[in-house]
Structure formats: structure tokens, C-alpha cells
Amino acid sequence: MGAIESRVYRAYWNDGLLDVFAAVGVLAIGISWTFDVVVAGAVTPALLVPLWGPFRQRFIEPRLGTVEFSDARERTNRERLRLVILLGVGAFALGVSLYFLRDRLALDPDVSLIAGLPAFLLAVLAALTALLVSTGRFLAYAALLILAGAIGATSGWEPGLILVSAAFPMLLVAIAVLLRFFRNNPVTTEGPE
């Protein structure tokens, strides 16, 4: 796809709402893990997905408008989305397995990085999201999750705390991006100026 199409596509995802959703998702998973209600963390993405459309329609579209992309772009996106979902399900399954096996795994010093595994898996997801929405910030979030996973795991933190420690800077960046978008893009109505 051409350079102009890529720029048009990138502009669609540069408002920060997806960043906020991602950060809230990571934070919710981290908090629920910390408080031993890991299932609540799993439910969070399912709660966030249906909110996406109404939130975008309410807060972004009056400022940015709306666009339907070409069939070629839609096809590429569907393929990439399938990969993201597959990895997301894999990350969830691994996370839940890790949760139930945590006591047994903690006995083995050779697998100390295992506590960082949920963060590493979410980093893969963030990197794939960067590919899906052509937004470099998600690569930065991926790097942040890997860093938090490595530091947290070698420092003996619980997986939940590792995720929370990565989610807070993510959320701060996401809110800053969203506020900048709101500031630079007031609600626009059609008709005379």
C-alpha cells in the first residue's frame, strides 16, 4: 500500500484512545493478579472490547471524523488481527497456567524469569498491535513490558506487580496523547465556519 494511504491509516490511530484501552487492560490484569482474582483480569479485555466502538464514536469521531479503508487494507488487517487474537489467547492460557502452577514453579531457581512471562507475552501483543495500527508507541510499550518483566522477575516481584509497574507509565503516556489529541482537535461540525 502506498505512502499516502499509510499516512491516512496512521492518522486514524494516533488519537491515544487505543493506548488508554491497552494501558487500562494491562493495569486491570496486573491488579487482579496482585489481589489473587486472576479471573477478573481475564474478563477485563472482554469488557473493554464492546466499549471500544461507543467510546470512539463519542469522543474521537466528532473530532477526527470517520473513514472506511480499502479492501486491501481490510484484508491485511483481518490477517494481522487473527494473529493478535491467537497470541492473546495464548498469552491468557499461559498466564492462567502460570498462576495455577506458580508455587511449583517458584521452587525452581532456573525459571526465575517465569514471573516476567505474562509481561513478555503482553509485549509480543503490543508489538503486534504496533504492526496492526502502524503506531510506533506500541513498540515502546512492548519495550517497557519487556524491561518491567526482566527487572521484576530478577528482583523477585510477583507477575501482577510487574504488570502494574509497566501499566502506570503506559497509562500516563496514553492520557497525555489523548489530551493532546483533544486539545489539537476540537469537535468539528459540518457547515459554515
Partner 1 sequence: MSDSIGIELPPIDDLLHEPARLRLLVLLSVVKRTDFTYLLKLSGMSKGNLSVQMNKLGDANMVKIDKSFQGNRPRTMYELTAQGRKALREYKKNMNAILAALPD
**Residues within the interface to partner 1 (CB under 8 A):** 1-2, 4-5, 8, 11, 61-71, 185, 188-193
Closer CB to partner 1, 3 or 107, in the complex:
3
Give the phi and the psi of residue 158 in degrees, each rounded to 5.
-75, 155
Q: Within its chain, how far is the Cα of 9 from the centroid?
A: 18
Q: Within its chain, how far is the Cα of 137 from the centroid?
A: 10
Closer CB to partner 1, 64 or 147, in the complex:
64
Q: Are 96 and 38 a contacting pair, CB within 8 Å?
A: yes
Helices 117-133 and 71-106: crossing angle, nearest 10°?
170
- In the complex, least distance from residue 61 CB atom to partner 1, rounded to whole angstroms: 8
Q: Within its chain, how far is the Cα of 79 from the centroid?
A: 18
Closer CB to partner 1, 9 or 33, in the complex:
9
CA distance linking residue 27 with residue 49, whole number of Å: 15
- In the complex, least distance from residue 25 CB atom to partner 1, rounded to whole angstroms: 27
- In the complex, least distance from residue 180 CB atom to partner 1, rounded to whole angstroms: 15
Closer CB to partner 1, 28 or 178, in the complex:
178
Cα dihedral sign for 48, 120, 169, 129?
negative
- In the complex, least distance from residue 193 CB atom to partner 1, rounded to whole angstroms: 5
- In the complex, least distance from residue 77 CB atom to partner 1, rounded to whole angstroms: 13
Closer CB to partner 1, 72 or 86, in the complex:
72
- In the complex, least distance from residue 54 CB atom to partner 1, rounded to whole angstroms: 12
Closer CB to partner 1, 68 or 103, in the complex:
68
Annotate 47-82 with b (16+ C-beta within 10 A) or e (fewer): ebeeeeeeebeebbeeebeeeeeeeeeeebeeeeee
